[in-house]
Amino acid sequence: MRRVVVTGLGMINGVGHDKKTAFDAIVAGKCGINTITLFDPEKFSAQIASEVKDFDPSTVMDGKEVKKADRFIQLGLKAAMEAMEDAQFDESIDRERFGVSSASGIGGLPSIEKNSVICDTRGPRRISPFFIPSALVNMLGGFVSIYQNLKGPNLSSVTACAAGTHAIGEAAKTIMIGGADRMLVVGAESAVCGAGVGGFAAMKALSTRNDDPQTSSRPFDKDRDGFVMGEGAGALVLEDLESAQARGAKIYAELIGFGESGDANHITTPTMDGPLRAMKAAYRMAGEPKVDYVNAHGTSTPINDKNETAALKELFGGKENCPPVSSTKGQIGHCLGAAGSMEAIISIMAMERGIIPPTINQLTPDENCDLDYVPNKAREAELNVVMSNSFGFGGTNGVVIFEKFTD
């Protein structure tokens, strides 16, 4: 089976418009969470989110085209552009052997909300003709393929908060079986709108620490009270190893394992068993290496953080054998379908730079969350193998493992 490596990275989120700025802020423990500005949150129980501020979509799209694409697509195009520039392809690249694997948990929810109101108040004839093309999740891959002229397989994962990770796995499978030589993975989400925040708040899933946004997301902390929504996008260029070496590409890491599973238990309440089976599958595929760091799903919800801790202990054979673990959602919020792609990038960059991002807002210990979560301050470390976890509503789970590449 063909080996798959990472040769390009791109990221935009609430703490930075590019991968370096965002990663540096995450490592410094900076928090992008604040009072929502994308709509008036006054009547909502949850009024905070990690928004991408000062983003101009005309920097990635022609101004006349902006109205044709929902914000999640615009953010995805930005991350994709950075990843492709980072990979440094020349014009000789075979575009018919270069595909796209896109991901979003919800897609164009703001457009759905807006046009539903228009339909109800002004009538169906006033619905925008761009509504459907701007809202469909797979249009992220459609726009990216057009803007980057990629004519290979065009796939889309819509698996809630595991979507970004599943998109990496789907891209890797495509390369491994010879369906493409290269795949651009793009996970993007922008669901910070009334329907999105109101819907999650109705489920009691969100933090309501509105008076203190900077400490509202508290992964693995005893006083955690729910996740905080984020928006953004992450993009990775995956290549067949031989193709990457033939063109002299910079190789960030090799994807050595991925695993997927279903809880088959409850649509919104996670289990320990499902995530554990996904971790075990990825770990076995990787050859059961010494894992040096885990970027946890770590949502800051009572059940997830407890279950994920227990699953990690089971995977590694007890607390004493677990590697350092951190969740970066305290810095950038939970970016839903984009979380997996961004957290994979964060894991790879942590390995490249030899530093573990902190879990910020670790204030009160929880007896059920008793691992080394790298509390509040980044830590220098030699990292050769990293794991990234993603779990989603519907009981869908994804895990990826990367190894530092050496010739």
Q: Which residues of 220-234 are buried (b: 16+ CB within 10 A; e: fewer)?
A: bbeebbbbbbbbbbb
Q: Do residues 330 and 320 make contact, with C-beta atoms less than 8 angstroms apart?
A: no
Whether residue 297 lies in the annotated active site = yes
* Residue 59: partners with Cβ closer than 8 Å, 6 or more residues away: 78
| Residue whose tokens read 């604040």 | 34
Contacts of 210-214 with C-beta under 8 Å, sequence gap 24+, read 210/35, 210/46, 210/47, 210/48, 213/31, 213/33, 213/34, 213/35, 213/48, 214/31, 214/33, 214/34
H helices of 149-215, in order, are: 163-176, 194-202
Q: Give the integer Cα–Cα distance in Å for 177 and 280.
A: 22
Tell me which of 17, 166, 297, 369 is the catalytic residue.
297
d(CA 388, CA 67): 34
Among candidate residues 166, 193, 322, 334, the one labeled active-site is 334
| 253 and 345 Cβ atoms separated by less than 8 Å | no
Q: Which of 17, 31, 161, 193 is catalytic?
A: 161
Q: Which residues are catalytic?
A: 161, 297, 334
